[in-house]
Structure 1
Amino acid sequence: MLRIFQNWIHRYFSDEEAVVLAVLLLLGFAIVISFGDRIAPLLTGLVLAYLLQGLVTRLRQWQVPHKLSVWIVFLLFLGALGALIGVIIPLVWKQMFTLFNELPRMFIEWRALLMHLPERYPTFVSEDQVERVIQTASGELGLFGQWLLSQSLASVPMLLTILVYLILVPILVFFFLMDNQQISEWLKARLPRERRLMNNIATEMNQQIANYIRGKVLEIVIVGTVSYICFAVLKVNYAALLAVIVGISVLVPYIGATVATIPVALIGIFQWGLGNEFMVLMIVYAVIQALDGNVLVPILFSEAVNLHPVAIIAAVLIFGGLWGFWGVFFAIPLATLFKAVLYAWPRGVEADIEIPQEIEAS
């Protein structure tokens, strides 16, 4: 067993650069897992600067000076942030509380609808089954109310955290964009001179991950905006809230669209019942999902991330469990990083395994 372990170490860690890269990856994951809450503003600023760097690079290609390019992109970022804080978040927050106040009435209507099922379909549904479903839903609704109350009681620390983010993150984004070259040179000076493996992985990541993250952000904005316009035209209640849910649902492939269908259908049923308006809503929603999957995604993600569906779902579950929303958002990039490291990792010549004399003699 010791011989097999030594051969494995010799095969995969005989390269000095591979050892350094393994230590850096392990150290990075350990820092994020252990101190993720404390360094969250720094990581958020770094991610946003990474997303905006493409615009700075494009302006530089158009012969715009570096400082002017950074200021243009930074002011666009502040404008988008202001629109998010001043318009979108208050509207969604207001609709969330309106929906919460309407939940008891919706629950009464839903209960009355369920109580008629045993009369219409006595073969398939019994009164006991309906009562159990109603009791379970009542318990879940009570737990949700308690959770919302606890969140409101803890709103002061949450507001302080948000205030810290609103101050620190834009400052960090600005300096990451302005001093990008100096920071890169400082990091390179502390890495090994021979960086063939790291350069291969960095090239792979820049080709796929940068396009994926920027494309995913653009997809969320487009799908959310189109959904809001369609819901508003159809006069659907809580249009902004549903549009945010539909937009964020594109983060989780294969699952997000299915999960987002539930609130859209429930709001439509409570508003119109199973009438023509509800059917129109579901058809419009199906068209949005079809255009997203068959038109928008191929355009935005021309350089597809070649991952198996099982790997994508596993990455979403693992990283989402570790880091919540950001884990879900970066699940596919992190899985692609893992794949790039796996494929680029040097494989030395396997050491010859000595044959025991007893076996050779036989």
Structure 2
Amino acid sequence: MNETAMADIALFLKRLQWGLVALAAGWLIWLLAPVLTPFVMAALLGWLGDPLVDRLQRAGRSRNVAVTLVFVAMALLMILVLALLVPVIEEQITTLIESLPHYRDWIMATALPWLEAKTGLQLTVWFDLNHLIELVRSNWERAGGVATTVLGYLSRSGFALIAWVANIVLLPVLTFFLLRDWDVFVERAASLVPRKHIDTVSQLAKESSDVLGGFLRGQLLVMVILGIMYGVGLWLVGLDLGILIGIVAGLLTFVPYLGPTSGVLFGVIAALVQYGDWKHVAGVLAVFGIGQVIESYWLTPKLVGDRIGLHPVAVIFAVLAGGQLFGFLGMLLALPVAAIANVLLRYAHQRYTHSKLYGGDKPEIVLDPHASPGGIIVPGEDKGADRA
């Protein structure tokens, strides 16, 4: 057996070994998913807060002081968001549950007959909204709201309650220590990379961080701002469910067209059910029209720009696939993994287009635009010598 064949076999075995390591790592993550969830959440928060800590350090503050300031700011922001949003969302969902009979009547008496007249299809026989709405209402009233539902589930399982409390206690502790020692962890990880690959790995890590940072920091700000704008705008129009519709539309804006489209659809239906006139429908359209102008010409270019590099389809698939494979932990890991995979795929494509497999090792024959019809040239040949 020649040396080339031996080298090919060695390369195959090496790749097989790394493939088995990756499968074992995935299996271990799947087993430890409930335990790893607070660690992953803390790592994401630490990664998001580290640039601000570094900026405060460059301004002259010590690492501990900078970490404390950022950690306190993040904790206060989280508490403020929960204190403001949870009661509002619960009230809005209660309003939605109480309004379901009106939506049922509007769908059965107005929307479906109009669609049947336009399409010629018998749609009413396919919808049993009475049973569905009564089921939702009875379950909600029996549960007593979001908080009661969550606490009731946890109280039925002592282990789940202990795990829930442990995760809540662990999350701020882990976040603080990861913020404090983030640069140390990065340096230790970099020290394990083989020296001949350190430049490539550093460049790929930087690109991955830029892609993920552009998505999370920029897009999250866009989602929050648009959610507030849509919610306040629909509330000013007079919709009882305006805040809930605005929040949903804001959360869905990470997928282009899906957020505003769903918001317009829900807002128009809510306006027709509540008021039944076109004046409020026009108000809904105006709110989302103004929001789209602000997003397209100011928010997205300024906060996100072209740093994302993640196609909306890839984002949706990553979140759904992560949730299916690893549950809530998979959904947390979906975007970081998708960002890194996107960078690695671009690097692999670049390597492929410069490889012999793509370009071949034979001289490339191309058409000579200056020659007579049918003339060709081979790179490396001297055309001047031929003409001579």
Per the normalisation by structure 2, the TM-score is 0.72
Give structure 1 stretches of 5+ with no counterpart: 351-362
Taking a change above 3 Å as real, the CA distance of residues 305 and 78 of structure 1, as seen in their structure-2 partners, is closer
2:197 matches 1:198: no
2:252 matches 1:258: no
Match of 2:371 in 1: none
Q: Which has the larger radius of gyration?
A: 2
Match of 2:60 among 63, 69, 82: 63
Q: Deviations along 1:172-195, whole A, 9 cap, x unmatched?
A: 111111122333344445554544
Whether contact under 8 Å (1:252, 1:316) holds in the other structure is no
Match of 1:10 in 2: 11
2:329 matches 1:336: no
Higher relative contact order (CA 8 A, sep 6+): 1
Give structure 2 stretches of 5+ with no counterpart: 358-388
Shift of 1:305: 2.8
Match of 1:238 in 2: 241
Taking a change above 3 Å as real, the CA distance of residues 39 and 325 of structure 1, as seen in their structure-2 partners, is closer
Match of 2:213 in 1: 210
Whether contact under 8 Å (1:114, 1:130) holds in the other structure is no
Shift of 1:167: 2.1
Whether contact under 8 Å (2:242, 2:267) holds in the other structure is no
Match of 2:92 among 90, 95, 107: 95
Give the whole-Å Cα distance in 2 for the aligned partners of 1:160 and 1:293. Answer: 46
Give the whole-Å Cα distance in 1 for the aligned partners of 2:154 and 2:100. Answer: 22
Q: Deviations along 1:83-136, whole A, 9 cap, x unmatched?
A: 122121121112112211221233133323247548xx757446x432323x2x
Match of 2:177 in 1: 175
Shift of 1:275: 2.1
Taking a change above 3 Å as real, the CA distance of residues 129 and 234 of structure 1, as seen in their structure-2 partners, is closer
Taking a change above 3 Å as real, the CA distance of residues 113 and 329 of structure 1, as seen in their structure-2 partners, is farther
Match of 1:360 in 2: none
Greater Cα offset, 140-149 or 297-306: 140-149
2:32 matches 1:35: yes
Match of 1:359 in 2: none
Give the whole-Å Cα distance in 1 for the aligned partners of 2:322 and 2:264. Answer: 24
Shift of 1:54: 1.9
Aligned length, in residue pairs: 338
Give the whole-Å Cα distance in 1 for the aligned partners of 2:259 and 2:13. Answer: 38
Match of 1:302 among 297, 300, 305: 305
Taking a change above 3 Å as real, the CA distance of residues 159 and 282 of structure 1, as seen in their structure-2 partners, is farther
Letter in 2 for 1:283: A
Q: Secondary structure, in 3 states, of the residue corresponding to 1:37?
A: helix
Match of 1:268 among 265, 268, 271: 271
Shift of 1:82: 1.1
Give the whole-Å Cα distance in 1 for the aligned partners of 2:261 and 2:21. Answer: 38
Greater Cα offset, 137-146 or 337-346: 137-146
Give the whole-Å Cα distance in 1 for the aligned partners of 2:323 and 2:268. Answer: 26
Give the whole-Å Cα distance in 2 for the aligned partners of 1:8 and 1:60. Answer: 51
Match of 2:123 in 1: 129
Give the whole-Å Cα distance in 2 for the aligned partners of 1:340 and 1:27. Answer: 23
Whether contact under 8 Å (2:231, 2:245) holds in the other structure is yes
Taking a change above 3 Å as real, the CA distance of residues 276 and 213 of structure 1, as seen in their structure-2 partners, is same
2:232 matches 1:229: yes
Seq. identity, %: 21
Taking a change above 3 Å as real, the CA distance of residues 246 and 309 of structure 1, as seen in their structure-2 partners, is closer
Shift of 1:321: 4.1
Shift of 1:10: 3.3
